[in-house]
Structure 1
Amino acid sequence: MHLAASHGPGSGPGPDNTVFYVCGVSLLLICLLKVPALLRRRNDLLLGAVVLLLFDGALVFFFAAPDSLAALNRATGIANFAAPVAYSAIVTFAGASLLLITNWRPAPPEQTRRASRVCIAVYLLVVAAINVLFWLGHAPVEQLTLFDGYYARTPFIREMILTYLVAHGVGTLATSVLCWRWSTEVQGSLRAGLRLLAPGYLLHVGYDVVKLVAIAGLWSGHRWDFLIDRVAPQTAAPSAALVVCGFLLPLAGPRLAHTTGSLRQLRDLSPLWRELRQVPTPGAIRTSLPWWSSPAVRLTRQKTRIYDALLALAPYCDAGVRERALRTALGRGEDRAAADATADAAMVVVARTRQHGAGPEPGPDTAPGPAPWRPHDLVPLSRALSSPVVAGLREHPGIPAESSSHD
């Protein structure tokens, strides 16, 4: 029977504490990152559910470590006091997960509030039942990794074990199903996160099923302790990784997309900046950015410097050059938007050449003044610098732009 094999702290072939502590610390760090937002938005039920879930998930892993269980039992002087504490945390995790998905998924507000109230009430009752059943039962022999199997036939303790396993399994299964269904209705990082959460929570269901099989085996005369202390805990690390990544993706996805977009725009604006970097801009601010500046900050700075250069070139911009370049671009088959960008690029190139002293400053009738450059104009303008029309102006600056179409 080997019942004594798991007596006492640290004994028995249970799982390594390191896995539980690493998972717990990971969840706790993510939880701490969300606390400032919760303090600013105290009435945000969804954010509160996120913080509760992450904090409780961290507690689950901390309390699941055999060393933590032994320390809690020693601190209270009550054998197996850690059992109802750990089971309450596990059940609360299932309830918080279901509550979070219920509030996260779009639904009529009244329906969401009603479902939230039911969820909170049910899981509060389950937690209360777990603790009441423990104190009604008798569990004098400390069990750190085989508590479920050792006390599976003990009155009241048996009911406590079944209550937590069923409540946890039902909650995580419902959460997994809701995540998968919702993932079919959304796109992007939210969809990817939900597709990770669904199997992550399903692994929690597997944990409960494995333990229930072991308990059923015990009732039928079989000792399958290895399912409790070896097989079931193996779902801890992969489920934690999937759940952590599943919640991180929707949170980090938009920021990652924004960063990627900023880097792409910086790359696209490089030709325009190379064209304008030598343009004198006396009034521009030239303080350098710290090395840790984000791509978004660098992009804003780059656009500002480009705007300053374009403003400095405004007195040299010739509307006639733009008009000739526009006709040439349209004659080459470019659509109107592309032709406008090409015409602007040609005007900027000629203006830069004039400012450098290679040509006269246009008179008041030909200079259009500062162009209303908008943020979405800059990337097309930058790309248009590689147009054959602009290349023709570079090669033959004294020839009208129309001639470039006949080169």
Structure 2
Amino acid sequence: MSPVEFVHEFYPTFWWIPAGILAAALAIKLPSIIRLWRDPLMRAVGGLLLLACAVFVFVAPSTIGWVNRVTGVPNISAPWVYSLLTAFCSSCLLLIITWRNGLSDRSADTRRAMRRVTVGYAGVIVAIWVLFLLADVPEERLRDLDTYYANTPYAREMILLYLLAHTVAGMIINGLIWNWVRTDGLDAWLHAGLKFLGVGYALQLVFDAAKLTAVGARWAGRNLDWLSTAAAPPIACLSAVLVAVGFILPHAGQYLHDRWRVRLAHRELRPLYQLMKTVNGSGLPRVLRSTPELRLIRRETFIRDVLLPLTRCLDEELRGRSYAAALALGHPADRAKALAAAVTILDAVESRGLAREQCAGGPSDTTDLLREIGAVSRALRHEDTVREVRARATTPAADAPV
């Protein structure tokens, strides 16, 4: 089976693939959109995904036939789909302009650009419906209306108008995106999202080129309909998926990155948390429906609350010797500092049965120690290394403190 025959075979269900992917993307994004409803960019991304999903739902042959039957007007799905696609182009342009310039940008140039996009594409939608009403398109076409009526007065202009509007939007958006990609200092997730958008909108230009070539061939008396009915659909589907990923990735990627960072920090504190439980006698009570952020805060607070009184029994001389020992073993200064703190805390925990008045009094400033609990906990994870540093620090030949 050739690629053209394959697309024609699966054409009735072909359009539901991107529609399903876009609907899934919208469903994944919906909780964030609801939670951050006051954020205009979040609302815009949600609206754009909804429009894109609607385009692919209504361009499916089964939906086209259903709309035509319900309204009783042959081919009325054509101006409806073209209008949805034009509105999608307008939404993309407005979102890119707002996203790039920032919500706080209220300059005259930005307002003028957004007003031109809104008025221009609203005018295109009105013109599409006027031309459809003037055109004579009595025979229903579910798959090849663009080429079948390419030489029909008014229908020809309607088809050309929506394709040109789509092409112009794609060219402008591509220019904005690739110029933005080359900007220094972009967030990694935003940079990746822009690249997906750039490729997605570049594919939209390929889609437009295929459609326009097929229509132009009809004007020249030739038949290249396969470009419109077989080549353009998979390009449009792939483009839609890439555009959806491009808009979602900066938000979803940063959200997932932040969640992973919180969970990682919570996990890294486990060794020090377990050690502090032996001092306190018990750990934190379990709280149902607790967020990862809250669990991290509670664990950090517990560790600091237990560690603070314990600092009165820290041996500063041992810490100095341990720091020197860690450096002598080849550890970098930051890691040596964390290992020295870990050795000193372990020593204080083991001697916690001593009366408070027998303690050395502890450091005068515990700010650094309490702030670096993550590094100390990571050091405790490597028990053999801590044991080696401690053994070297407690021998009579240990290096003097640095």
What's the TM-score bracket when you normalise by the shorter of the two chains?
0.7 to 0.9
**CA shift for structure 1 position 393:** 7.0
For the residues of structure 2 that align with 1:62 and 1:327, how far apart are their CA atoms? 69
2:285 aligned partner, one-letter code: R
**CA shift for structure 1 position 277:** 3.9
CA distances 1:194-216 after superposition (whole Å, capped 9, x unpaired):
10111111111111111111111
* Aligned residue among 20, 23, 27 for 2:15: 20
Which residue of 1 is the match for residue 300 of structure 2? 303
For the residues of structure 1 that align with 2:355 and 2:318, how far apart are their CA atoms? 13
For the residues of structure 1 that align with 2:50 and 2:385, how far apart are their CA atoms? 61
1:310 aligned partner, one-letter code: L
* Aligned residue among 126, 132, 135 for 1:134: 132
Kept in 2, the 8 Å contact 1:318–1:362? The answer is no
Kept in 2, the 8 Å contact 1:91–1:168? The answer is yes
CA distances 1:262-305 after superposition (whole Å, capped 9, x unpaired):
344345434434544422246x6322566xx6654543344234
Paired residues for 1:281-300 under 5 Å: 281=281, 285-287=284-286, 295-300=292-297
For the residues of structure 2 that align with 1:375 and 1:135, how far apart are their CA atoms? 74
User: Number of residue pairs matched?
Assistant: 388
1:116 aligned partner, one-letter code: M
* Aligned residue among 304, 319, 324 for 1:322: 319
Which residue of 1 is the match for residue 218 of structure 2? 218
In the alignment, is residue 255 of structure 1 matched against residue 255 of structure 2? yes
Kept in 2, the 8 Å contact 1:392–1:404? The answer is no
* Aligned residue among 145, 148, 156 for 2:154: 156
Paired residues for 1:74-93 under 5 Å: 74-93=69-88
**CA shift for structure 1 position 53:** 1.6
Secondary structure of 1:278's aligned partner = helix
Which residue of 1 is the match for residue 3 of structure 2? none
**CA shift for structure 1 position 114:** 1.5
Unaligned runs of 5+ in 1: 1-11
* Aligned residue among 43, 53, 57 for 1:62: 57
**CA shift for structure 1 position 179:** 1.5
Kept in 2, the 8 Å contact 1:179–1:198? The answer is yes
**CA shift for structure 1 position 333:** 7.6
Secondary structure of 2:136's aligned partner = coil
CA distances 1:106-150 after superposition (whole Å, capped 9, x unpaired):
365312222111111110000010001000111111111111111
Moved more, 198-207 or 312-321: 312-321
* Aligned residue among 342, 347, 357 for 2:344: 347
For the residues of structure 2 that align with 1:275 and 1:404, how far apart are their CA atoms? 26
Which residue of 2 is the match for residue 115 of structure 1? 113
Calculate the aligned-residue CA RMSD, in Å. 3.3
Paired residues for 1:28-47 under 5 Å: 28-31=23-26, 45-47=40-42
* Aligned residue among 336, 354, 358 for 1:363: 358
Kept in 2, the 8 Å contact 1:15–1:229? The answer is no
Which residue of 2 is the match for residue 280 of structure 1? 280
For the residues of structure 2 that align with 1:13 and 1:277, how far apart are their CA atoms? 67
Which residue of 2 is the match for residue 378 of structure 1? 373
* Aligned residue among 41, 44, 51 for 2:46: 51
Secondary structure of 1:286's aligned partner = coil
Change in CA separation of 1:350 and 1:365 when aligned onto 2, cut-off 3 Å? closer
Kept in 2, the 8 Å contact 1:316–1:362? The answer is no
For the residues of structure 1 that align with 2:169 and 2:349, how far apart are their CA atoms? 67
**CA shift for structure 1 position 337:** 4.7
**CA shift for structure 1 position 50:** 2.1
Kept in 2, the 8 Å contact 1:322–1:343? The answer is yes
1:217 aligned partner, one-letter code: A
Q: Provide TM-score, normalisation by structure 2.
A: 0.83
Which residue of 2 is the match for residue 206 of structure 1? 206
1:307 aligned partner, one-letter code: R
